[in-house]
Amino acid sequence: MSSRKYPQRIVCMTEESVELLYLLGQQDRIVGVSCYVERPPQAKSDNVVISSFLKANMKRIRELRPDLILGFSDIQKEIARDLIAEGFNVWIANHRGLEEVLDYCLALGSAVGCRDETLRLIQRYESKLSEVCERAKKLKTFPKVYIEEWNGPYITGIRYFSDLVTACGGHDIFRDRSLGVLAQDRFIEPSEVVERDPDIILGCWCGKKVEKESFKARDGWDRISAIQDDRVFELDPAIFLQPGPALFEEGLDTLMSLFENNFA
């Protein structure tokens, strides 16, 4: 029998790892979380807040004595560098597509000794994805979709968000940009949105409320079909900008229902 020791004191600098560990019943391993964590609702009150997305409280992390620190993307590379320099065990994941999200879940679940439980969770998510793809086939119109993650500079959707749109029967008008590895690869010009003329606009600004009226005020945007048809919608970043379980727990059904209500 293996005597392998699994991590016992985990710091999570982003939200997706927190939700997965709670779903697996491993929340007692968590000792520190990001200030942005919202899922599940008790996660922030259950744990010590140790970071935002761009800054970490090194003193507080040292006091927690974690044996594993989890983060996400190249944007956290500076925090990771400082933590590694202090001798911490750091894992910065960089998964971008919807399938890669499932791979990440399996890797993290295995890392805490819950491979079988995670495989069952993934099977449920794959079934939900198949169901949604079948629902999407019944749409009367397969809409052209503009995803906006930020409004200055304008940033379009990351690949896993674009993958959700595809699964639900939509066509991401900036699918080519979604495949970029870095956030700057997804910068766009407002005039490009006018040229590609989306049927629906999905605003999902990280960390702040979407100002729906601001879309209408942009130069030339009154010619866009989505503006003319009043199809500008705000989506919850805690669901759609979290590269983890939330995409499957709520994201798929939420987006599919939105498309069904407007294009079925």
d(CA 55, CA 73): 14
pLDDT digits 0-9 by tens, 140-152? 999 999 999 999 8
Instruction: Identify whether residues 132 and 245 lie together within a single domain.
Output: yes
Instruction: Identify whether residues 82 and 136 lie together within a single domain.
Output: no
Residue 155 — φ and ψ, nearest 5°? -125, 125
Structure tokens at 79: 């925090």
**Under a CB-based contact definition with an 8 Å cutoff, are residues 143 and 172 in contact?**
no
Q: Which of 94, 114, 136 finishes a domain?
A: 94
CB neighbours of 44 closer than 8 A, spacing ≥ 6? 33, 35, 37, 38
Instruction: Identify whether residues 158 and 223 lie together within a single domain.
Output: yes
The whole domain housing 203 covers 126-263
pLDDT score at 5: 87
Instruction: Identify whether residues 14 and 135 lie together within a single domain.
Output: no
Is the pLDDT at 24 greater than 90, yes or no?
yes
**CATH classification at residue 228:** 3.40.50.1980
Q: Which of 70, 94, 118 finishes a domain?
A: 94
Give the rounded percent of residues in the chain with a pLDDT score beyond 70. 98
pLDDT score at 3: 58
CB neighbours of 56 closer than 8 A, spacing ≥ 6? 13, 50, 79, 82, 83
Instruction: Identify whether residues 72 and 148 lie together within a single domain.
Output: no
- Specify if 175 maps to a domain: yes
- Specify if 241 maps to a domain: yes
Q: Which of 94, 114, 148 finishes a domain?
A: 94
- Specify if 20 maps to a domain: yes
Is the pLDDT at 9 greater than 60, yes or no?
yes
Is the pLDDT at 207 greater than 90, yes or no?
no
- Specify if 39 maps to a domain: yes
Is the pLDDT at 139 greater than 80, yes or no?
yes
Q: What angle do CA 178, 186, 204 make, to 5 degrees?
A: 80
Overall number of domains in the chain: 2
pTM above 0.85, yes or no: yes
d(CA 189, CA 184): 12
pLDDT score at 1: 43
Is the pLDDT at 83 greater than 50, yes or no?
yes
**Under a CB-based contact definition with an 8 Å cutoff, are residues 180 and 192 in contact?**
no
Where would I find the beta strands (DSSP E) of 52-99?
68-72, 90-93
Instruction: Identify whether residues 141 and 257 lie together within a single domain.
Output: yes
